[in-house]
Amino acid sequence: MKKKELKKDWESSDFEKAYLPGLAIDSVIFGFHDNKMMVLLLQYKNTNIFALPGGFIFKEEDVNQAAKRILQDRTSLTNIYLEQFYLFGESNRQDDSMETIMKARGMKPTKNHFLLNRFVSIGYYALVDYTKAIPTKDQMSDDCGWYDIKKIPPMIQDHKKMIHKALETLRENLDKKLIGFKLLEERFTMGELQKLYETILGIKYRRTSFQRKIINLNILKQVDVKKTGAANKAPYLYTFKKEK
């Protein structure tokens, strides 16, 4: 059975045989734009159940390749920064949500259906400009869209914990990973960079202390002055140093 055909038949025995048993990928896809922080969530048909975009790993597929494939399926984005951040393998992370979801779709899962088994999930996170992403629902979900990071609805299993862990990881590594996210224009002001930091970290900086922090990181190169009117008030433009 081909991969595209597998997506259409969750009850097929071939569906289960195609994937690595007991292993899944869940992606916490953060979206940033205009000083707003969002997270991409699925809502399952005929239920009020929300979940992170996730999927399974084909037996002949690399794990990172699978994560990129799943992300592209959910957002239509390619070539973005994606990082593995945690392995979720608690023995009690399974609940009856998947059975509810399957029944809501008119399926009649047996007690030993592989989707009802315990899964260990590899967590990935990404940070994208959500205006450039095209959320895409699958055959099991009713909706796929962006939700305010401060207003997360009730989630399946431990998915809310996954979001908190991913956000914690993002914040801890922001200085080192920011360049890879490509959220700013090639040239940007210090003020635009400060707003990005403040939105992700959920804190406010004094302008002088933020500027000192960033300069000490040695990741920026001053390239020009922004043409905004009065020369004495025009902010400098920066770009990230290529070697960084």
- Mind listing the pLDDT tens digit for each residue in 49-98? 899 998 899 999 999 999 999 888 877 877 788 899 999 998 877 777 77
Residue 6 confidence class, pLDDT cut points 50, 70, 90: very low
Query: pLDDT digit string (tens) for 109-121?
Result: 777 777 777 889 9
User: For residues 92 and 12, which has the higher predicted lDDT (pLDDT)?
Assistant: 92
Q: Is 74 exposed, middle or buried (0-12, 13-18, 19+ CB in 10 A)?
A: buried
* Contacts with 90 (C-beta within 8 Å, 6 or more apart), sequence order: 158
Min mean pLDDT across 95-104, 161-170, 188-197, 228-237 is at 228-237
What's the token pair of residue 158?
């431990």
Q: Which helix (DSSP H) or strand (DSSP E) does residue 51 occupy?
A: strand 50-51
* pLDDT on residue 12: 55
**Please, which pLDDT band fits residue 230 given cuts at 50, 70 and 90?**
low
- Over 90: is that where the pLDDT of 148 sits? yes
Q: Any idea what the CATH number is for the domain that residue 192 is in?
A: 1.10.10.10
Rounded CA separation 106/112 (Å): 18
- Of the residues 176, 197, 221, the one at which a domain ends: 176
Task: Give the count of beta carbons closer than 10 Å to the beta carbon of residue 131.
Answer: 10
Overall residue count recorded for the chain in this entry: 244
User: Which domain does 225 fall in, by range?
Assistant: 186-240
Whole-number mean pLDDT of the chain? 84
Q: Are residues 44 and 137 in the same domain?
A: yes
Q: Cβ neighbours of residue 38 under 8 Å, at least 6 residues apart?
A: 30, 31, 32, 130, 146, 147, 148, 149
Q: In this structure, which amino acid lies at residue 191?
A: G
Q: Letter for the amino acid at 24?
A: A
Residue 8 pLDDT greater than 60, yes or no: no
**Does residue 230 share a domain with residue 121?**
no
* Number of domains observed in the structure of the chain: 2
Same-domain pairing of 62 and 171: yes
Distance of alpha carbon 124 from alpha carbon 209, whole angstroms = 32
With vertex at residue 114, the alpha carbon angle to CA 74 and CA 121, rounded to the nearest 5 degrees, is 50
Whether 1 has a pLDDT exceeding 70, the answer reads: no
pLDDT at 117: 77
- Contacts of residue 230, Cβ cutoff 8 Å, sequence gap at least 6: none
- The verdict on 168 and 196 lying in the same domain is no
Task: Say if residue 121 is in the same domain as residue 195.
Answer: no
Question: Which of 176, 200, 231 is the last residue in one of the domains?
Answer: 176
CATH of the domain at 25: 3.90.79.10
Task: Output the pLDDT for position 139.
Answer: 64
